[in-house]
Chains A and B, each alone.
Chain A
Amino acid sequence: DAKTTQPPSMDCAEGRAANLPCNHSTISGNEYVYWYRQIHSQGPQYIIHGLKNNETNEMASLIITEDRKSSTLILPHATLRDTAVYYCIVRVATGGFKTIFGAGTRLFVKA
């Protein structure tokens, strides 16, 4: 499974969009991009995933570049409760479940 690179921390003003980048330059054609977040020491929470098309759900949007070497998670209107560590991972969706989490990005949403 490919590894990912994320900035260690980011700040965002409450109510503004939070754009979290992720680099996955060694991603394979059958690997999906997944995003999770972890608030304090709770279990990580799934946010969104995609293969090559942009995706949107009630929590966030995922923008994947055309060459699939990087992606951006967008929280459209960040709130204080979005303060968390955000993890970007890449892995195949079938045939195995070996998963590599990096250190993630610690997002601070400030009032």
Chain B
Amino acid sequence: DQQVKQNSPSLSVQEGRISILNCDYTNSMFDYFLWYKKYPAEGPTFLISISSIKDKNEDGRFTVFLNKSAKHLSLHIVPSQPGDSAVYFCAASAEGAQKLVFGQGTRLTINP
């Protein structure tokens, strides 16, 4: 039972353009959502998060949008840079739970 889904295994974007990564979830008890970035041979690195009481959170070039009614969140990267090429994981947690539930990941490639 995949509670967090990233339906696009890969995404290719031109440098300088916007990258949009999508994530869907099924568990209505999830109230905290995170995005992690992973380079090869390294562990995931926390990027940005959002609480269910918000619908948007912004940090520099990264913005996360949450649509609770659609159980959907997205990560926008503007402008995209070559160093953004990595695998991006969406993750979610329910209130009171310590564990994160991760999606399968989306490999983002930024082309020069």
| Chain B binds chain A | no
Give chain A's interface residues, CB within 8 Å of chain B. Answer: none
